[in-house]
């Protein structure tokens, strides 16, 4: 990627996916431009259009604790934390960021999907994506429940690595990540830390990021040679706080020395035509209730 240049590869993938998934692209776009308020209404209240929460400069946070199904999400998440938190479940994961969801969990804990597929959350994502969203069909999975815990990382005191370093996500542009704090998060929890889209654009140009020869991960030293460290924003807060962010436009890192464990739900919403080619080889599937609305189906149904 470094040799060819990430920007070039992403451009190629986008063009290819626009051709390969043109039918699907058309369906999502038509639903968005023609019928979206009605689709939201049929999917359930609150269905305001334009949405109450809108991304500005690449992000928006909501601390109102009023988003649909959030209380159920927090209850069901607490059950998962009680049952699985603080333990190594698999050695194939990043040691500082571990998944707590197992097969069958989206059926067992239905609030997790009910929240992300609610009209209010989908409206915010759709407005930013300018189309009807897709719950990520490949990597990253559309739904993750992650624990960041320094006690589970044998190299917790070593240099920062992988997603502990600044980067922009590659899988699509635009995209919307929705992060939910399942427990209170402080600076000791290795919070998700990001730069706004305008600061990121400045850094991207100065670092020649995604151009040929530039690394995917950026050290703090590199980043803070082109921007002021005070421009970094930490997603700390009370449980139930929600961050909407375009992580392909906003540099970010997280899970740094989480001495107080961080539990966070992470959802990935994309457009139908991504900037990677993984989708050609496999596809995540999500449970669809028999009475699912047309919008919910469109966001989660399999394409194959
Ligand atoms: Fe990322």
Distance 293 CA to ligand 1 centre (A): 31
In the reported structure, the alpha carbon of residue 171 is separated from the centroid of ligand 1 by a whole-number distance in angstroms of: 10
Ligand 1 centroid, distance to 35 Cα (angstroms): 32
Which pLDDT value is given to residue 304?
Answer: 77
Between CA 193 and CA 186 the distance in angstroms is: 12
How far does the centroid of ligand 1 lie from the alpha carbon of residue 140, in Å? 9
Average of per-residue pLDDT across 161-165: 93
Rounded to whole angstroms, what are the CA distances from 148 to 7, 165, 237, 263, 297?
30, 15, 16, 7, 32
Q: What is the pLDDT of residue 60?
A: 98
- Could you tell me the distance, in angstroms and rounded to a whole number, from the CA of residue 169 to the centre of ligand 1? 5
- Residue 93 Cα to ligand 1 middle (Å): 15
Give 153 or 65, the one with higher predicted confidence. 65
Cα 147 to middle of ligand 1, angstroms = 15
Calpha distance 102→81 (Å, rounded): 13
Ligand 1 centroid – CA 37 distance (Å): 31
- Positive or negative, the Cα torsion across 276, 277, 280, 283? negative
Report pLDDT digits (tens) over 64-80. Answer: 999 999 999 999 999 99
| Span from the CA of 222 to the centroid of ligand 1 (angstroms) | 18
pTM here is 0.95
Ligand 1 geometric centre to CA of 57 (Å): 17
> What are φ and ψ of residue 195, in 5° steps?
-115, 145
CA of 166 to the centre of ligand 1 (A): 8
Say what the pLDDT of residue 192 is: 98
pLDDT in tens, 20-37: 999 999 999 999 999 899
Dist CA 293 CA 269 (whole Å): 18
The position carrying tokens 């739900």 is 265
Q: Is 215 helix (H, G, I), strand (E, B) or coil?
A: coil
22-43 and 119-129 are packed helices; what angle lies between their axes, rounded to 10 degrees?
140
Mean pLDDT confidence for 224-253 = 98
Phi-psi region of 57 (alpha: psi -120 to 50; beta: other; left: phi over 0): left
Indicate the burial class of 33 (C-beta count within 10 angstroms; 0-12, 13-18, 19 or more).
Answer: exposed
Task: Kindly give the distance from the C-alpha atom of residue 269 to the centroid of ligand 1, in angstroms, as a whole number.
Answer: 13
Confidence of residue 92 (pLDDT cuts 50, 70, 90): low
What pLDDT sits at residue 180? 98
Question: Of 81, 124, 75, 78, which is closest to residue 99 (Cα–Cα)?
Answer: 81
For the segment 250-274, the average pLDDT, to the nearest whole number, is: 95
> In the predicted model, is pLDDT for residue 296 greater than 90?
yes
Is residue 214 within 8 A of residue 2, CB to CB? The reply is yes
Work out the average pLDDT over 248-258.
96
Least confident range of 85-89, 97-101, 123-127, 132-136: 85-89
The closest alpha carbon to 93, from 147, 50, 22, 129, belongs to 147
Whether the link from the prior residue into 291 is cis, omega within 30° of 0, is no
Ligand 1 centroid – CA 287 distance (Å): 26
CA of 168 to the centre of ligand 1 (A): 6
Of the pLDDT bands very low, low, confident and very high (cuts 50, 70, 90), residue 206 is very high
């Amino acid at each position: 990627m470094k040799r060819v240049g990430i920007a070039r590869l992403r451009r190629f993938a986008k063009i290819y996916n626009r051709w390969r998934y043109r039918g699907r692209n058309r369906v999502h776009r038509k639903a968005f431009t023609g019928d979206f308020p009605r689709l939201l209404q049929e999917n359930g209240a609150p269905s305001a259009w334009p949405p109450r929460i809108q991304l500005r400069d690449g992000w928006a946070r909501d601390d109102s604790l009023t988003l649909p199904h959030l209380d159920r999400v927090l209850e069901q998440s607490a059950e998962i934390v009680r049952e699985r938190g603080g333990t190594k479940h698999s050695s194939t994961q990043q040691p500082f960021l571990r998944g707590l969801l197992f097969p069958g969990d989206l059926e067992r804990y239905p609030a997790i999907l009910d929240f992300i597929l609610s009209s209010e959350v989908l409206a915010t994502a759709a407005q930013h994506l300018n189309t009807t969203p897709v719950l990520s069909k490949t990597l990253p999975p559309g739904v993750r429940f992650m624990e960041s815990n320094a006690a589970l990382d044998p190299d917790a005191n070593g240099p920062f690595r992988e997603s502990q370093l600044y980067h922009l996500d590659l899988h699509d542009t635009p995209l919307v990540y929705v992060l939910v704090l399942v427990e209170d998060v402080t600076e000791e929890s290795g919070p998700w830390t990001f730069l706004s889209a305008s600061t990121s654009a400045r850094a991207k140009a100065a670092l020649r990021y995604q151009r040929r020869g530039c690394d995917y991960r950026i050290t703090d030293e590199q980043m803070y040679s082109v921007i002021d460290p005070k421009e970094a924003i930490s997603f700390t807060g009370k449980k139930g706080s929600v961050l909407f962010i375009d992580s392909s436009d906003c540099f970010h890192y997280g899970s740094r020395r989480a001495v107080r464990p961080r539990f966070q739900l992470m959802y990935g919403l994309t457009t139908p035509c991504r900037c990677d080619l993984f989708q050609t080889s496999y596809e995540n599937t999500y449970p669809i209730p028999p009475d699912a609305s047309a919008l919910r189906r469109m966001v989660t149904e399999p394409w194959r």
